[in-house]
Structure 1
Amino acid sequence: AESILLLIAAVEFSVGILGNAFIAVVTFMDQVKNRKIASIDLILTSLAMSRICLLFIILLDCFILVLYPDVYTTGEQMRIIDFFWTLTNHLSVWFATCLSTFYFFKIANFFHPLFLWMKWRIDRVILKTLLGCLAFSVFISLPVTKNLNDDFRHCVKAKWKRNLTVKCRIKKTTYASTKIYLNLVTLFPFSVSLISFLLLILSLWRHTRQMQLNASGHRDPSSEAHVGAMKAVISFLLLFIAYHLAFLIATSSYFMPETELAVIFGELIALIYPSGHSFILILGNNKLRQAFIRVFWKVKYILKRRQS
């Protein structure tokens, strides 16, 4: 069972790395070609890089947990992995929220003075916002390293014994509580993305109503942009919910038997979030989609020539 789960994890990891690396390479090459850093490319590059790191951390934890469980014995290695997992997790969520917010300000049509002012300044504050997300993620990840004593892993492995000490129970409860509290912080960016999605729906409804009043039945570019942005945001929200449910499974497994299988199963679900959302972004972005189609046909042509 562990071998099969590890194989599935490796496949999900490979798919996620290909998708996110493709986004990073295409946006970087476009920046070099145009000698200008577009806001959307900066966000997509940052998001792709954070998810590549997140994928590496999750897969590394899976393999260490199954193949080299004694690595976690001292607790120091567990501190390092937990720190980088929390860091890349928060970075991925915050950068995805920046993308949702950027879509909202660029596509939605409202005439409130505050909205118009923020719409006008959104490109100027993107870099500062991304750096702020990085600094906040590092700050929020530091408490993880303070809650793992050297004998914590022994307490985790001793869960099947009947004579569990109160000390071990307190250690595991403190660890799980800290992890849950830190991930509850991500509910704020999730709420921001949800609000952006709802406001995009409102903007699309108002725009569609205006088009009907003008007797225009076909879908205009603005409507297409609204629908594309909403697909990107709603896919992030749904995958985000699945990711955090998987995290709860992995965290609560420290109090259940067969911890390794439960953790790996939770991490398999968690891998869907950074892997699947990358391809949704590729299909929803015209530049990325066209580049993906060109690469696909080139690969297909090369394979045909080798076979012949």
Structure 2
Amino acid sequence: MVPNQVTIFSIIMYVLESLIIIIQSGITVAVLCREWMNFQRLSPVEMILISLGISHFCLQWASVLYNFGTFSRPVYLFWKISVIWEFMNILTFWLTSLLAVFYCVKVSSFTHSIFLWLRWKILKLVPWLILGTLIASCLSIIPSVIKYHIQMELIALDHVPRNSSSIVRLQMFEQHLSNPLKMIGFGVPFLVFLVSIIVLIVSLFRHWGQMKEYNTNNSCSMKAQSTVLRSLVTFFIFFTSYFLTVVVSFIGTIFDKKSWFWVSEAIIYGLVCIHYTSLMMSNPTLKKVLKMPV
């Protein structure tokens, strides 16, 4: 069991993190929308960041409503909010992966024909890829919608003996199909992110090595490459930690999920907060508004 002091501290941290994430996402959407209104255009990265800002904003409100709403009402009344939370979470994973793919295509120094074709097409493809992430997220939550409908059916069949064939079939689907399909929904975008970041880091390391070998006097360029590599490694570490924490939270077999619930929530959204801060710092427009050094 977790001590009460740890639980109270975790709740306070979760509330503070939620406020920070809501403010961060609101600032991102407001600033980039103002940029679009002033210049009548948005870069592909800014399109992805606006989409991420909206998804983070909705994700955090869904999390807060579900976590605190279930104190006063039965959990099953809030299943729709939990489905919204899962949808926004998967959408966030897909959009982050799309951002990694974009940087991989634009920044990497590979000259393979596939990379050259993508580099030429990526600017026009980004709006369609954002739409694709939306469709993929909708498809990914179908197992969860079915699962919660099954839970409603089990509640309605509470008077039926637990060993009846209908209840056994519903429970088997929930246990053996729902969670694996849910892990696939989270795992596929993370795999795309992982491959993109690894390819980009390998490309930058190779380019950095070439610069170090043939252009030793260009210290400014090498310093910039080193800064980019550190940023990518940090981005990789925090997003991977967020993914693993969410997976462990879903599985719920490593620890007592009920007693450690608020601790896991504080950890998850602490990682989200740091991850989103790194995204904001990567955009010059947001840096300028927040008075961060470029």
TM-score, normalisation: structure 2: 0.81
Alignment check: 8 A CA contact 2:141 2:185 kept: no
Q: Among 41, 44, 52, which residue is 2:49 paired with?
A: 44
Quote the residue 2:206 is aligned against.
Answer: 206
Structure 1 residue runs without a partner (length 5+)? 156-164, 297-308
Quote the residue 1:178 is aligned against.
Answer: 178
The number of equivalent residue pairs is 280
Quote the residue 2:31 is aligned against.
Answer: 26
Q: Distance in 2 between matches of 1:117 and 1:223?
A: 29
Q: Distance in 1 between matches of 2:233 and 2:92?
A: 16
Alignment check: 8 A CA contact 1:16 1:276 kept: no
Q: Distance in 1 between matches of 2:59 and 2:124?
A: 28
Alignment check: 8 A CA contact 2:21 2:273 kept: yes
Alignment check: 8 A CA contact 1:100 1:233 kept: no
Q: CA deviation at 1:181?
A: 2.8
Structure 2 residue runs without a partner (length 5+)? none
Quote the residue 2:245 is aligned against.
Answer: 246
Pick closer, same or farther for the CA change 1:236–1:23 going to 2, 3 Å. Answer: same
Q: Deviations over 1:72-120 (max 9, x none)?
A: 2xx3532x02311221011000000111111111111122122111101
Q: CA deviation at 1:212?
A: 3.2
Q: RMSD of aligned C-alpha atoms?
A: 3.3
Write the letter of the residue equivalent to 1:131: L
Alignment check: 8 A CA contact 1:6 1:62 kept: no
Alignment check: 8 A CA contact 2:212 2:222 kept: no
| Secondary structure in 1 matching 2:217 | coil
Q: Distance in 2 between matches of 1:88 and 1:176?
A: 24
Quote the residue 1:302 is aligned against.
Answer: none
Q: Distance in 2 between matches of 1:21 and 1:225?
A: 31
Q: Distance in 1 between matches of 2:231 and 2:131?
A: 23
Q: How does 1:131-142 map to 2 (within 5 A)?
A: 131-142=131-142
Write the letter of the residue equivalent to 1:279: T
Residue 150 (1) aligns with residue 159 (2): no
Alignment check: 8 A CA contact 2:66 2:78 kept: no
Alignment check: 8 A CA contact 1:20 1:48 kept: yes
Q: CA deviation at 1:177?
A: 5.5
Write the letter of the residue equivalent to 2:275: H
Q: Distance in 2 between matches of 1:216 and 1:255?
A: 50
Identify the range of structure 1 (200-209 vs 218-227) with the bigger mean alpha-carbon deviation.
218-227
Q: Distance in 2 between matches of 1:189 and 1:232?
A: 21
Write the letter of the residue equivalent to 1:265: V
Q: Distance in 1 between matches of 2:226 and 2:154?
A: 49
Alignment check: 8 A CA contact 1:243 1:273 kept: yes
Q: Among 3, 7, 10, which residue is 2:15 paired with?
A: 10
Write the letter of the residue equivalent to 2:197: F
Alignment check: 8 A CA contact 2:21 2:60 kept: yes
Q: Deviations over 1:262-307 (max 9, x none)?
A: 333222222123322111122233332222117x9xxxxxxxxxxx
Q: Distance in 1 between matches of 2:206 and 2:287?
A: 29
| Secondary structure in 2 matching 1:217 | coil
Quote the residue 1:291 is aligned against.
Answer: 289
Write the letter of the residue equivalent to 2:56: R
Q: CA deviation at 1:141?
A: 0.9
Quote the residue 1:261 is aligned against.
Answer: 259
Alignment check: 8 A CA contact 1:193 1:233 kept: no
Q: CA deviation at 1:210?
A: 3.0
Alignment check: 8 A CA contact 2:63 2:82 kept: no
| Secondary structure in 1 matching 2:109 | coil
Identity of aligned residues (%): 20
Alignment check: 8 A CA contact 1:27 1:41 kept: yes
Q: Distance in 2 between matches of 1:172 and 1:62?
A: 27
Q: Deviations over 1:19-59 (max 9, x none)?
A: 22222222222122211121111011111111111111222
Q: How does 1:63-142 map to 2 (within 5 A)?
A: 63-65=68-70, 67-68=71-72, 70-72=73-75, 75-78=76-79, 80-142=80-142
Q: CA deviation at 1:145?
A: 1.7
Identify the range of structure 1 (35-44 vs 190-199) with the bigger mean alpha-carbon deviation.
190-199
Q: Distance in 2 between matches of 1:141 and 1:115?
A: 32
Write the letter of the residue equivalent to 1:243: Y
